[in-house]
Chain A
């Protein structure tokens, strides 16, 4: 596969880049939904993220990317291991798995190993994309065109954090926690509300209006295509810098403190906007903590909460189709009112 365009070389699209970075720092935030017109760099950004992320530790050779120090949430093989001889650990890149259009359920969830069945008549489980994406990202382009039964499968797994496969007398259960990233063009169709709710953050992207910015985007892309290796080399320092920053933020995250005032601000905002109680607020708080860690601070402020609000709440408002103002406008308005208090 071709090498990815460097994340730090993406011009503008600050909100989208921010959402992706926050999800990398704290996967518990939930998935990211990126909605926007054609040719706005949605897929480019997600694929660039894969190259950017700092590598992680996993059990060597484990098909499910099991964590080394964990005692729970492991696959059958890893939890069955006699733990005394130390489990060998390997450093692997954070998985960013693409769900291709035309994927069938058996490859997504995993099924019998075809080769083994054919060659030796042996029954073995061949893990699917959900296993490969564990502790990483699962990317779905054109998410609003996804087939219904796949949507159902993803919702199930996202809710339980586990994938259960029962076929041909096989019964396999393995952990599957990943950040779901979906991108698409809203003009192609609506997303089911149940699926929409699964996403932690949402961003609307558009092509830049500023000609100078557009020129820069095309120039960089052009340079990248004419000399991929050279371009990636030129941006290597920037990439490394962002990578370290993300690594530091991930380490600092458990130490970030959320004071009562910040919680109160979040609740007030959610009440004002009529957001579905719990999930919106939780996401808002988690995202604010990640943002605080990223900025190098250790206490979440009300200002950060209000800053993050559009990302976390934008898609949780789409209830009333008769409402004139778009979702972002409503969030901005509420945020403005609260900041003046």
Chain B
């Protein structure tokens, strides 16, 4: 029985999620996988069950943990079999076991950069290359990753390196278990689509339109554009169309970019999944004859070239092709683009919470190293034995004759065999600058902060610490530089800092508190540096009330003290005021007066207060003291 061209399903988050599962099932390895924002629960389980049911029965499905040991993921020497058989035997890593199947990754927002990199490399090359422990091997590993993002805040999300590669993105968080329905396609419907999808044509104008949308939302990477094309094709094939049309493009945009073009007060005929006639609706502003696709494309090109915008970091907004306007209103696009930029700024921040520090003494074991992380580190006995085991035969042969009469069970261990546990210590220090960007002296203060940030970051390849900047002025506070170790990123973000306006000190402190307590919760050390004369005049609710403003600020400050968060207040004003001192006391912070603060002095003061790698703080001043 042939299913209807478009099953009579209303557009709803659940139905979209099911549609995404169906699309993924058509070409799992080609689409690389799906990012599912969903906390554990019945909805997620139901969805996963649907996905697995759509795949061929014998598909391999493997579940991995975000902190999985490298050797388990990639594979390595199967020690037991090797010793028994006397030949090197390879143990298949999880990614190889999942060849032609699925890898399910729960708590995906917590996966660390290194592991994410390994998975990404495997996805790119579709093979696992093993070059470790004496083994050299190449194994096929074509799989789709189902990344289950359990993040709650906006900052907690997948590492960007994975997010970029996964074609589909869905959000199950807003779906209640009551919305779950059983309607949809089955395994037997998906099977024939695979071949059909390869032959679906996409008209040039629609092709260009999809690329434009991708360029507007994700300007720096071309992968989303590829994903849109693939998904549009598959959607068309699912609906028994030979040529992709607007409905397919819209579905692709919804499912790949996780946005819903449905705007309540706009004309919504474009986004209901009705079966549409295969030819395109011509947008009204396109002057060309509807049949003359090629000419239309050329005209578009010249118009696009003229409109090319100049600034490097801005998405090419003026170059959005006309047909796209018909699909997505410009205003909506701009709003989505800015939301995406905000999201990409903090992408992977939570994943980085677990970043390894190579010399860590505490924390969980994530691998074996050849060199001791610190001079007095103790060897990992098991790993050492593992590395010595394969060579025993060789060594026994070469052992001096008097030793040959020793017991068979004696192990010959050499210095090279020793392995030390590489631990992941959840800890870096993040230095957060909270800068008062109000009033006329703002520009200079900001410039010096920028200088200090850059000086600190230039040291960072050694220290592996991070820097972040919040600026507050006028309307409120902004996180202008999310925690980063990259000098390049800092330069870009701090390139044009706005200043002037009122002093919303409380708003700045509130944002700082949120960021810092999040970091501390994930095990990082932080130090918050507040650069302000603390002459607050804007309260949290926006009213211009000096007393209220200061009260609000002090309230939040006390929370810093209660949580014992490390802080430093620097008063850069030329004339002294006692407000900054009061703020410092409420924070339980060190206090410095630095009229005309220089970048070098600023960075030196902050660095002096950051904990050293051996765990001792190198702070030269007592906590809570005042210095000139």
Contacts and interface: CB of A to CB of B under 8 A. Distances in A.
A219 interface: yes
A37 B489 CA distance: 11
B342 interface: no
B436 interface: no
A141 B486 contact: no
A190 B451 contact: no
A168 B304 contact: no
Nearest to B222: A39
B126 interface: yes
Contacts of B501: none
B385 interface: no
Given A38-B223, A39-B164, A121 B394 contact: yes
Given A100-B121, A321-B487, A126 B134 contact: yes
B249 to A, nearest CB: 14
Contact of A214 (B86, B118, B211, B395): B211
B305 interface: yes
Contact of B117 (A37, A39, A121, A145): A145
Given A167-B416, A210-B308, A322 B394 contact: no
A169 B305 CA distance: 66
User: How big is the B interface, by class?
Assistant: 35 or more
B53 to A, nearest CB: 27
A191 B14 CA distance: 45
A222 B226 contact: yes
A40 B305 contact: no
Given A38-B164, A145-B117, A209-B316, A215 B211 contact: yes
B390 to A, nearest CB: 6
A255 interface: no
B471 interface: no
A108 interface: yes
Interface in B458-477: 458, 460-461
A188 interface: yes
B334 interface: no
Contact of B488 (A169, A187, A192): A187
B212 A211 contact: yes
Given A101-B118, A107-B135, A118-B86, A148 B358 contact: yes
A107 B124 contact: no
Interface stretch (A80-88, A109-117, A269-277): A109-117
Contacts of A222: 226, 229
A218 interface: yes
Given A101-B114, A211-B215, A218-B225, A118 B82 contact: yes
B288 interface: no
B587 to A, nearest CB: 29
Contacts of A103: 131-132
Contacts of A321: 454-455, 457-458, 487
Given A189-B461, A207-B220, A321-B455, A38 B133 contact: no
For the complex of A and B, list the 6 residue pairs with the smallest distance between their C-beta atoms, beginning with the closest: A39-B221, A114-B134, A107-B131, A321-B454, A186-B488, A39-B223
Given A112-B391, A117-B393, 7 more contacts: A103-B132, A118-B86, A190-B458, A214-B214, A215-B207, A221-B226, A321-B487
Interface of B: 30, 70, 74, 77, 82, 86-88, 113-114, 117-118, 121, 124-127, 129-136, 138, 160-161, 164, 198, 207-208, 211-212, 214-215, 219-226, 229, 301, 304-305, 308-309, 312, 316, 319, 321, 358, 369-371, 390-391, 393-398, 414, 416, 451, 454-455, 457-458, 460-461, 484-489, 491, 599
28 contacts: A39-B220, A40-B221, A40-B222, A101-B118, A103-B132, A106-B132, A107-B131, A107-B133, A107-B135, A112-B391, A118-B82, A118-B87, A119-B86, A126-B134, A145-B114, A148-B358, A186-B489, A188-B113, A190-B486, A191-B461, A207-B219, A212-B304, A214-B222, A215-B207, A218-B211, A321-B454, A322-B455, A326-B491
